[in-house]
Amino acid sequence: MKYMNVGSIIHLSILSLLNRRLAVLLSICAIAVSVSLIFTVEKLRQDAKRSFADTISDTDLIVGARSGSVQLLLYSVFRIGNATNNISWRSYRSISDRDDVLWSIPISLGDSHRGFRVMGTTRDYFEYYRFGRGKMLELDGGKPFDDVFDAVLGAEVAADLGYKLDQRMIIAHGIGKGGFTKHDDKPFRVAGILKRTGTPVDRTVHISLAGITAIHVDWKAGAPIPGMSISADAVRKMDLTPRSITAFLLGLKSRLGAFKALREINNFSKEPLLAVLPGVALQELWDLMSTAETALRAISIVVVFGGLLGMLTMLLTNLNERRREMAILRAVGARPHHVAGLFVTEAILITIAGIVGGLCLFYAGLFLFQPVIEDIYGLFISVTAPTVNDLMILLYLLAGSVVAGLIPAVMAYRQSLSDGIIVRN
């Protein structure tokens, strides 16, 4: 026993674990669930951040009234909040006609439909807007608006409200579940429904800029003009060029000129404007939300600690029952490091089995629930091999198992001495 090798310790550890198979199995299950939760939290955190960054892509500049970059990003891309001011149509045309501009997408906000934001834009939106890694918007049915009173619905709008093609809908002035005053004299028709994107596009009702102007021709200062009512047919014959818009997106011919265009737009002399780089603004917004990311990391740490604590509890609970086993090992010449090695090896074997079980559970759940999560929440969870960060988490877990194994080892050694078993060398 004096010359017990690593193989002997592993063999004894396996026999000891098999002898306590029920308690060991419960510990393995606890660690497996912990590992599965760790990887789930990390995967959700990473893919949520990626999805957040993929909300808009291949857009070089976002331009709005002068305010803050995060505020501009929130209302123009995420449809959250309102602009401090509008941009005149003349200024928009002046900038979109620049020689370095390849395309532009005007955006007009301020109305809603049953809690969903209404956005006025042009058909260029469906041609040039990109999300994810350069993905185009695709229609699940119908086509982009042709008529002044056509609407294209995001996937979530259509699903939540149960709308179908050619169905009639009423736009409300203002933002809210019920809006303020409804434009019920000028109903819109569902001309198209977009495929799910996992972005704010899914929660947006898209109509033309002409449609935005049309529903407000007999309005002034946010309210209908008393005694004035222009029918939908009469409105179609009018000049529906907007006087102002909320913001616009720009695609440049060369991204190398983005900073030059940014500086010149921010110094625009005709009215105060703000141009931002989408990537920079997204990073600023994510930094503001870092508390949520920190909370998810904290959850991971707590889950790891909980799994190790469960294993430690099992080892300590069985310690009193194993006093005779430890005493016999000490009596036949087992050294303190042999006892420590036995407990540490058991802890490592339990942890390895838990890790393998946890990975199997995680990937099984990933394959099973990935389509459901994408369909309901619009969040695409990618199936990938463990990253370096994931492997580091597993190494920390194994290191923790070593510590968890040393604690009962020290206690077992002390108990064996108190039982009067003294080994003569």
Residue 286's closest CA among 57, 133, 74, 107?
74
> What's the CA gap between 93 and 309, in Å, rounded?
65
Give the containing element (helix H, strand E) for 247.
strand 247-252
Where do the H-state alpha helices sit in 290-385?
Answer: 290-317, 323-331, 336-377
pLDDT in tens, 402-411: 887 788 777 7
For the stretch 132-178, pLDDT in tens is 878 899 999 999 988 999 999 999 999 999 999 999 999 988 776 55
pLDDT band at 1 (very low <50, low <70, confident <90, very high): very low
* Pairing outcome for strands 188-194 and 150-153: parallel
**In terms of C-beta density within 10 A (0-12 exposed, 13-18 middle, 19 or more buried), how is residue 256 classed?**
exposed
Structure-token pair, residue 405: 């194994």
Confidence label for 13 from pLDDT (cuts 50, 70 and 90): confident
Tens digits of residue pLDDT in 72-128: 999 999 988 888 899 999 999 999 999 999 999 999 998 999 889 999 999 999 999
Q: Using the predicted structure, report yes or no on whether residue 355 has a pLDDT greater than 60.
A: yes
CB-CB neighbours of 221 under 10 Å: 5
Reading the block at residue 346, the tokens are 């058991």
Q: How confident is the model at residue 228 (pLDDT cuts 50, 70, 90)?
A: confident
